[in-house]
Chains A and B, each alone.
Chain A
């Protein structure tokens, strides 16, 4: 116990000593972490007590685990009754310290206590794979089946508003025509809460990021750029010489190459996105594209979840987790 405390103190000291401006390395170096039997991790949330909340879509449950991978608690299991989950794909901790789960195949949002007890649920009546709980307690759900990029719900599940124009291919790939039939697909996005009660929208199949206010007003829109993005775009459009897709997602019966596979808001409010080849791109709160971190050589698959805890960046890749070898300061 004392050893763990000393190690944490040392890590904090090391992180504090990192020079400002050297927050992210040019190439990611990672080691395996949070060992365990997982099937398909889609959510990774750092908890205040230095444990992690892992959402394992493949086993239809969430686990609270220590950094050594010891399972402290299981939340949910397969099923449809209140408290049961079916292919949950996003998880968050709200300001009340309650665990909120997007129960995707049951088309609903559920709330649990930290001890795993079921508290409440509200139905969505549509399928979604991403949501975020904002700092003011609202729940923002990616909602293309509703004809909007996002829908904002109160913490009790009351629909406050839907918004975000459904975007086609032309928004993320200049020179390409948007097709009406693909709007619902192209509007699939990862939602991340910002520090001001608003949220980021990170598109799955396009290198496009937006930021919205708490009221759902568009603040800015940024198209990611750089050689990695160009390569991902070539893959998406099956252009000659394109790299094979690393992560395909089936949407409405069609398999499409994912461009951005994960995103997370950093403690400093910036947004970190993971391109499917494992490259990380950092964006300022103003939308300015900051550093690009080359993919770690030992990451075999696309990153599906990102989290920052105790000066380390954690990455989940379907059935295993990694963390940065060295501390990173944000």
Chain B
């Protein structure tokens, strides 16, 4: 199914914060993970994740360190800072309320 790209672009920040709330990841890993969990829905233009990650790092939501991946390759891992954790919780709450509202609307429409 084709989604409006703009719709997805607006979710990049929430996506990153949600994934990193679970554990530290590197960029490609996040892309793969998002695609896997959304059963292919979140197939972003992959390059857009880098400006978003760098921006969040600069604003103090994330911090990055180079370390080895389980495959033995050197990867740049991102983790949430305490500010990032707070932001992740806040975004999560916003999304949940928005989704509930959307579900109510769509549900009503179907009914």
Question: Are these two chains actual partners, yes or no?
Answer: no
